[in-house]
């Protein structure tokens, strides 16, 4: 008997196979690896595929060179040969240990003489479950992977060619899977417990984030993990995801090696371009799937980045369904580098794509997201099939099936089939509307989660594009109905108030007046800019309100106010040189991010000391994006006639050419640097004529090599000459007449860090600094309400709007 012959042979092969344990961590009880159609054994990586000297079927060898995708390159020796069957054929395996097993089928349709495997068309089933239905592969190579719970001591793999065709296989595996890999039940949509114990799974995607392929050799379960690059979705506004890796950080003591190898946990794709950046978008990957099936989706997480700021709290989605609000630190008991696995079950509904995303939960907080790996496994349906045309959802396919049935079957069967289809459609509908209900509940929860304390009518609405929209009532409550006693700044646009939200978050509330200089367009620009990204050195948007023609923006509260107020014109104690350098480095970092963090540079257009704010630790953040523009492409076609910015900080090249580039910000930043060094306003009409304009004065002094004469007397003792030289040289380059000659913000940043290093870190000086810092904070208690957020005292022309300044100049001249 042919079949029993084959059975006997495979029996021997498997016995030999089992005697040599080839994997170190997990040793499968059943381990059949067969190189079909080959007359010799074949080692692939560290596994031995035995020759298939099965007398049945026809053995074929490729007559041309095997060419596969790079991931499957290591298997090319297996793809060299194949077994071909013209009638139904059974592969019979004696199973030692019942339970879940991998079945991996290798296909490569090579040409052998005048015989081409691409003409084959056949079905494959195992344990009465259809794995492949009328399968045909025209080109390329593929490894199909299934996992089945084998419940008898025998596994029969059946290959059935369609009429007048044939079946083939290049190699196959039947290997035990550790019991803990696939849980017996998994919670899916609507918290429904799905039983997986007797379901067959097909691996649709197994992806390693961080754009690194992990080959079967590096995985104790011989799984192939492909790089995520090709699946990653792009966003043309912001740099969304970044590939990161740190293998040494992964702590596998919890024994999760089974779920995924260290190499998978050691690489990831994180949200945001760098450690300081927080963007208000999701990182998403897109996968093609078959509608009409349910899928087990497994997310692998491991915090391998050392966050300098913020936390790993984020939402996990599949399509628009929020699977989890994950606090990665919490679920891993805050043990660094501990992997975490999240399973869910979802159906793509009528879409043929799964969008897997991780993203911010609450843009208000500094949190980032990470994903290390993802697996998508199709679950066999009630007809015990993994490869059937889907009923119901696709009307075209559905009607084809109906026609087929009517032509071929008795009427009773037709009725049955239609009934079955109806039941499936109806149950899907029900599930679907339940899902919609569920999503609605989720949405309400999302809103209430943040603002649940507010009464009806003052609920904050979540608007994905613009962050939080607040009700006017909520803002009135936070600012004691715009109480004058809470006003902390005033400018052309209106007033800034200090406020306190219901959750005790301190905020700054900027309220534009309808007749303000900063019109609706600037209001919108600012919200749009700030809602797209967050950065350690850019002031954060908390929300906004456009109710009743109001133009209110809510920012994080910056306790120490503006940089300007710490330099001159206030009672605040002077900042040390090192503090000033740190502030310059911070704001340069913020600007550098604006210029390079998105695919198109963003130009701030109003860089000045009044727009650099300081938090309680004197960390600098760039503020006021009302004038920002996406450039320079924007302005090449559209030359704006309205030159905007602040007097004294304006790039002379921009003034004459009206061509806006990042280098205009660099010019303004150069002015800021001198203001910081000299501790005086850019324009000070009260000074002798040659000193009125800071930049002109500085340039003259600089030429005469009288560097020290320009430095703020309060810090001159602290500054080391090399640090000063580097600083002045950098600031001076920023002020180059021609934009081309100015450095980039990245370059400025680098030089400022140099200046900081040259200054060194002497302890003697630190003593002095910390005492002055203590003074400063004591003083702060008393002066909270006098600190200004933006344009302030009448003397300070520098921070006024252009038209006001001109008016002032005219008046001054006429005196
Ligand atoms: C294949 O390997 C097995 C086990 O190592 C050995 O017994 C057998 O002789 C080998 N077959 C061939 C064709 O080399
Ligand atoms: C393929 O070639 C063989 C001889 O090499 C010949 O006997 C056979 O008929 C050919 N088959 C087809 C389908 O052309
Ligand atoms: C497969 O189906 C046949 C007939 O329906 C049945 O006799 C057999 O027990 C089934 N085998 C398995 C493994 O379920
Ligand atoms: C396999 O199926 C049996 C019987 O249904 C069940 O008891 C067992 O838990 C299942 N094993 C796995 C790993 O799902
Ligand atoms: C992956 O496996 C290959 C082959 O066994 C080995 O050379 C390589 O060092 C492994 N890579 C890592 C990072 O362990
Ligand atoms: C991922 O890696 C591949 C190969 O190394 C590279 O070609 C591709 O550009 C990378 N993808 C991304 C999005 O960087
Ligand atoms: C990787 O993680 C280890 C352990 O936490 C840490 O010491 C090391 O600095 C990290 N390496 C990188 C490149 O971040
Ligand atoms: C690794 O994790 C275990 C607990 O799973 C913990 O006891 C151990 O301290 C961790 N090791 C490191 C280096 O953090
Ligand atoms: C992330 O995706 C989910 C689901 O599609 C969506 O509800 C949410 O608004 C997205 N978040 C952001 C910041 O775009
Ligand atoms: C995780 O969060 C829960 C509920 O907020 C808290 O009770 C628990 O202590 C946290 N665990 C850790 C390790 O932070």
Query: pLDDT tens-digit profile of 203-225?
Result: 999 999 999 999 999 999 999 99
Give pLDDT tens digits for 736-791. 999 999 999 989 998 999 999 888 865 334 333 333 333 333 332 222 222 233 33
536, 633: one domain? no
Give pLDDT tens digits for 574-587. 999 999 999 999 99
Position 10 in a domain = no
Cβ 17 vs Cβ 31: under 8 Å: yes
Burial (Cβ within 10 Å: 0-12, 13-18, ≥19) of residue 374: buried
Position 680 in a domain = yes
pLDDT (mean) for 786-801: 31
204, 233: one domain? yes
| Interatomic CA distance for residues 182 and 147, integer angstroms | 9
Position 331 in a domain = yes
Mean residue pLDDT of the chain comes to 76
Minimum CA distance residue for ligand 1 atom 5:
16
581, 456: one domain? no
Catalytic choice (30, 276, 303, 606):
606
pLDDT score at 634: 44
553, 600: one domain? no
pLDDT score at 545: 86
| Interatomic CA distance for residues 543 and 565, integer angstroms | 26
Minimum CA distance residue for ligand 6 atom 10:
229
Helix (H) or strand (E) holding 132, with range, is strand 129-135
Choose one of 125, 160, 177: the last residue of a domain.
177
Position 391 in a domain = no
Residues near 458 by beta carbon (within 8 Å), at least 6 away in sequence: 471, 473, 474, 477
Position 576 in a domain = yes
Q: Phi/psi class of residue 415: alpha, beta or left (left: φ > 0; alpha: ψ in -120 to 50)? A: alpha
- For ligand 6, the distance from its centroid to the CA atom of residue 286, given in whole angstroms, is 16
Choose one of 177, 210, 239: the last residue of a domain.
177
Higher pLDDT, 667 or 239: 667
- For ligand 7, the distance from its centroid to the CA atom of residue 466, given in whole angstroms, is 36
760, 618: one domain? yes
Q: Are strands 129-135 and 122-126 parallel, antiparallel or unpaired?
A: antiparallel
- For ligand 8, the distance from its centroid to the CA atom of residue 73, given in whole angstroms, is 37
**Percent of the chain residues topping a pLDDT of 70:** 73
pLDDT score at 52: 84
566, 506: one domain? no
Ligand 3, residues 98, 103, 128, 199: which to mutate, most atoms within 8 A of Cβ? 128
Ligand 10, residues 330, 336, 338, 449: which to mutate, most atoms within 8 A of Cβ? 330
pLDDT (mean) for 70-82: 90
Domain count, the chain: 4
606, 703: one domain? yes
Which tokens hold the place of 750?
């680098």
Cβ 214 vs Cβ 220: under 8 Å: no
455 CB near ligand 7 (under 6 Å)? no
Catalytic site residue 606?
yes
Position 22 in a domain = no
118, 153: one domain? yes
What CATH number is associated with residue 197? 2.60.120.260
Position 426 in a domain = no
Higher pLDDT, 410 or 185: 185
Residue 20 has pLDDT above 60, yes or no: no
Position 392 in a domain = no
Residue 635 has pLDDT above 50, yes or no: no
- For ligand 10, the distance from its centroid to the CA atom of residue 311, given in whole angstroms, is 14
Residue 808 has pLDDT above 70, yes or no: no
What CATH number is associated with residue 696? 1.10.510.10
151 CB near ligand 4 (under 6 Å)? yes
542, 593: one domain? no
pLDDT score at 435: 32
574, 680: one domain? yes
Stated pTM of the model = 0.63
Ligand 4, residues 29, 102, 149, 380: which to mutate, most atoms within 8 A of Cβ? 149
Choose one of 177, 196, 211: the last residue of a domain.
177
| Interatomic CA distance for residues 671 and 631, integer angstroms | 22
168, 189: one domain? no
Burial (Cβ within 10 Å: 0-12, 13-18, ≥19) of residue 343: buried
What CATH number is associated with residue 474? 3.30.200.20
103, 169: one domain? yes
Question: 664 lies in which domain range?
Answer: 562-814
pLDDT score at 656: 80
Higher pLDDT, 530 or 305: 305
pLDDT-derived band of residue 670, with 50, 70 and 90 as boundaries?
A: very high
Cβ 497 vs Cβ 789: under 8 Å: no
């Amino acid at each position: 008997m042919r079949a029993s012959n084959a059975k006997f042979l495979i029996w021997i092969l498997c016995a030999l196979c089992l005697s040599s344990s080839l994997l170190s961590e997990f040793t499968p009880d059943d381990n059949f690896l067969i190189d079909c159609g080959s007359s010799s054994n074949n080692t692939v990586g560290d596994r031995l595929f035995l020759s298939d000297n099965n007398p049945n079927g026809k053995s074929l060898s490729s007559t041309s060179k095997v060419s596969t995708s790079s991931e499957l390159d290591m298997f090319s020796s297996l793809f060299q040969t194949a077994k071909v069957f013209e009638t139904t054929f059974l592969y019979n395996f004696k199973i030692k240990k019942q339970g879940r097993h991998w079945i991996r089928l290798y296909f490569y349709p090579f040409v052998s003489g005048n015989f081409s495997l691409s003409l084959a068309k056949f079905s494959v089933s195992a344990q009465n479950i259809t794995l492949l239905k009328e399968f045909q592969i025209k080109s390329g190579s593929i490894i199909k992977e299934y996992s089945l719970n084998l419940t008898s001591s025998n596994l029969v793999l059946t290959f059935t060619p369609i009429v007048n065709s044939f079946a083939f296989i290049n190699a196959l595996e039947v290997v035990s899977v550790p019991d803990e890999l696939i849980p017996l039940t998994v919670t899916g949509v609507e918290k429904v417990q799905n039983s997986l114990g007797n379901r067959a799974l097909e691996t649709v995607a197994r992806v390693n984030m961080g754009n690194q392929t992990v080959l079967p050799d590096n995985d104790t379960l011989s799984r192939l993990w492909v790089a995520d690059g090709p699946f990653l979705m792009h966003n043309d506004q912001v740099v969304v995801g970044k590939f990161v890796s740190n293998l040494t950080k992964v702590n596998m003591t919890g024994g999760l090696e089974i779920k995924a190898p260290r190499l998978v946990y050691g690489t990831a794709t994180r949200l945001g371009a760098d450690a300081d950046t927080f963007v208000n978008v999701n990182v998403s990957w897109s996968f093609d799937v078959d509608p009409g099936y349910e899928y087990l989706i497994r997310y692998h997480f491991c915090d391998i980045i050392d966050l300098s700021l913020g936390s790993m709290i984020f939402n996990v989605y599949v399509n628009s369904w929020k699977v989890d609000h994950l606090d990665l630190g919490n679920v891993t008991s805050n043990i660094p580098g501990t992997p975490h696995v999240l399973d869910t079950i979802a159906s793509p509904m009528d879409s043929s794509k799964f969008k897997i995303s991780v993203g911010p939960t609450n843009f208000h907080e500094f949190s980032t997201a990470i994903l290390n790996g993802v697996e998508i496994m199709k679950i066999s349906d009630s007809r015990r099939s993994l490869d059937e045309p889907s009923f119901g959802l696709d009307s075209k396919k559905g009607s084809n099936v109906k026609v087929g049935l009517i032509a071929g079957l008795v009427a009773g069967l037709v009725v049955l089939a239609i009934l079955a289809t109806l039941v499936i459609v109806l149950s899907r509908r029900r599930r679907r509307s339940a899902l919609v209900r569920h999503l609605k509940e989720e949405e309400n929860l999302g809103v209430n989660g943040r603002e649940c304390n507010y009464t009806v009518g003052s609920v904050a609405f979540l608007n994905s594009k613009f962050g939080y929209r607040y009700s006017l009532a909520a803002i009135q409550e936070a600012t004691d109905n715009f109480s004058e006693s809470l006003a902390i700044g005033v400018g052309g646009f209106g007033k800034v108030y200090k406020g306190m939200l219901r959750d005790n978050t301190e905020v700054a509330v900027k309220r534009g007046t309808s007749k303000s200089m900063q019109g609706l367009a600037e209001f919108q620009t600012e919200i749009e800019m700030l809602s797209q990204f967050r950065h350690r050195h850019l002031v954060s948007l908390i929300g906004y309100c456009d109710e009743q023609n109001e133009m209110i923006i809510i920012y994080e509260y910056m306790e120490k106010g503006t940089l300007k107020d710490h330099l001159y014109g206030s009672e605040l104690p002077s900042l040390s040189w090192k503090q000033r350098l740190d502030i310059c480095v911070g704001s340069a970092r913020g600007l550098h991010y604006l210029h390079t963090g998105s695919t198109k540079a963003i130009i701030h257009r109003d860089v000045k000391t009044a727009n650099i704010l300081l938090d309680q630790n004197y960390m600098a953040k760039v503020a006021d994006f009302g004038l920002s523009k996406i450039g320079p492409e924007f302005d090449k076609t559209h030359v704006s006639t309205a030159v905007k910015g602040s007097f004294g900080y304006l790039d002379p090249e921009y003034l004459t050419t009206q061509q806006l580039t990042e280098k205009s910000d660099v010019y303004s930043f150069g002015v800021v640097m001198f203001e910081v060094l000299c501790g005086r306003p850019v324009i000070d009409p009260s000074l002798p004529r040659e000193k009125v304009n800071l930049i002109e004065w500085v340039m003259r002094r600089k030429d005469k090599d009288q560097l020290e004469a320009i430095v703020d007397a309060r810090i001159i003792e602290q500054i080391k000459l090399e640090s000063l030289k580097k600083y002045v040289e950098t600031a001076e380059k920023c002020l180059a007449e021609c934009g081309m000659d100015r450095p980039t913000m990245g370059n400025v940043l680098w030089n400022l860090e140099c200046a900081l290093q040259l200054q060194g870190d002497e302890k003697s000086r630190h003593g002095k600094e910390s005492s002055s810092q203590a003074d400063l904070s004591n003083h702060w208690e008393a002066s909270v309400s006098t600190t200004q957020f933006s344009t302030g005292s009448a003397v300070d022309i520098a921070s006024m709007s252009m038209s006001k300044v001109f008016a002032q100049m005219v008046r001054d001249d006429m005196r």
